[in-house]
Amino acid sequence: MKYRSLNSYLKETFGTKVYKVPIDAGFTCPNRDGTLDTRGCIFCSGRGSGDFCASSALGITEQIEEGKKRVGNKIGEDGKYIAYFQAFTNTYAPVERLREVFTEALNHPDVVAISVATRPDCLGEEVLALLAELNEIKPVWVELGLQTIHERTAQYIRRHYPLSVFDKAVKQLRERNLEVIVHVIIGLPGESEEDILSTVSYVAKSGATGIKFQLLHVLSGTDLADEYRAGKFECLGMEEYVSIVKKCLGLIPEEMVVHRLTGDGDKKILIAPEWSKDKKHVLNYMRKCLEEDDNPGAD
């Protein structure tokens, strides 16, 4: 099955190997600081999904250099980087603070773009104006944590914003020529395959330019872990997950970039599914299944 992968898009766009460096800029989240809630989303780790980031005590440039060291043997001296502001909500701060950290990343000579993970309800006019301004210097991507279009699930995971807010955010970002990448979690408790496919179909028509498929991970220290231990839901098996992803890929337009087929859960805190710990095996299996669709008569 053919789809537009992130690797191919990066090579087309930047002409070289590009690697994302996760950044923790020390922000928080309205779902954590009491504005909307204090518990965070039900699946979110203590580091706000920034489990692979360097310490927020380091400066932005220092974190980029740390990231370069971790992947130097994979990417080579000529490689370039995307500074991925990943932990918590990365537009939830005074606009001058955002300008400071984003500009520092963009000024790094090896950084070709920044990617900003945030919530659709944290994109005020000043923030939008700043992102559009910086996008004139180097590309700025905005990653929105939608996860699902279904209100019952959104309430369960404590997302705390309606679908209309997501729609407005995508429209406003695209009007400013910003790339928009949407996160979708596959395997959320209570969701059927039909529910998942309807979410992906919605994203495909939303105007977003990219999509990330994320396997639901159960991480220790989360309320989701308590639900799992209580036997309230089961995680997807590998074959079932891959089957759903294949169907999802069939729903998205050719020009939409697939930024992720699955995801990583920090092995130190990952409770389930166990099979996801061997990411190399999972990706090899996924590639084999997708290639079989292109060569149905192959052995």
Q: CA 123 → CA 27, 176, 214, distances in Å?
A: 15, 13, 23
How many structural domains compose the chain? 1
Instruction: Report whether pLDDT(129) > 80.
Output: yes
Instruction: Report whether pLDDT(97) > 80.
Output: yes
**For residue 38, what are its two tokens?**
């204090």
Contacts of 293 (CB under 8 A, 6+ apart): 1, 246
> What tens digit of pLDDT does each residue of 197-247 get?
999 999 999 999 999 999 999 999 999 999 999 999 999 999 999 999 999
Contacts of 283 (CB under 8 A, 6+ apart): 261, 262
Q: CA 34 → CA 29, 60, 120, 223, 294, distances in Å?
A: 9, 27, 18, 17, 50
Does an H or E element contain 184, and which? Answer: strand 179-186
Asked if the structure places residue 298 within a domain, the reply is no
Question: In 3D, which of 32, 7, 155, 17 has the Cα closest to residue 73?
Answer: 17
**For residue 16, what are its two tokens?**
């070289």
Q: What angle do CA 37, 41, 46 make, to 5 degrees?
A: 95
pLDDT at 76: 66
pTM of the predicted protein model? 0.94
Q: What are phi and psi of 114, to 5 degrees?
A: -120, 150
Asked if the structure places residue 147 within a domain, the reply is yes
pLDDT at 294: 56
* Rg of the chain over all Cα atoms, to the nearest angstrom: 19
Calculate what percentage of the chain has a pLDDT beyond 70.
96
pLDDT at 46: 81
Question: In 3D, which of 25, 105, 121, 96 has the Cα closest to residue 68?
Answer: 105
> What tens digit of pLDDT does each residue of 239-262 get?
999 999 999 999 999 999 999 999
Question: In 3D, which of 190, 249, 238, 192 has the Cα closest to residue 215?
Answer: 238
Q: CA 248 → CA 52, 128, 196, 206, 290, distances in Å?
A: 27, 30, 8, 15, 12
pLDDT greater at residue 126 or residue 287: 126
Asked if the structure places residue 299 within a domain, the reply is no
Give the CATH number, domain containing residue 245.
3.20.20.70
Q: Which domain holds residue 123?
A: 4-293
Q: How far apart are CA 169 and CA 120, in angstroms?
A: 5
Using DSSP, state whether 76 is helix, strand or coil. coil
pLDDT at 85: 97
**For residue 95, what are its two tokens?**
């606009």
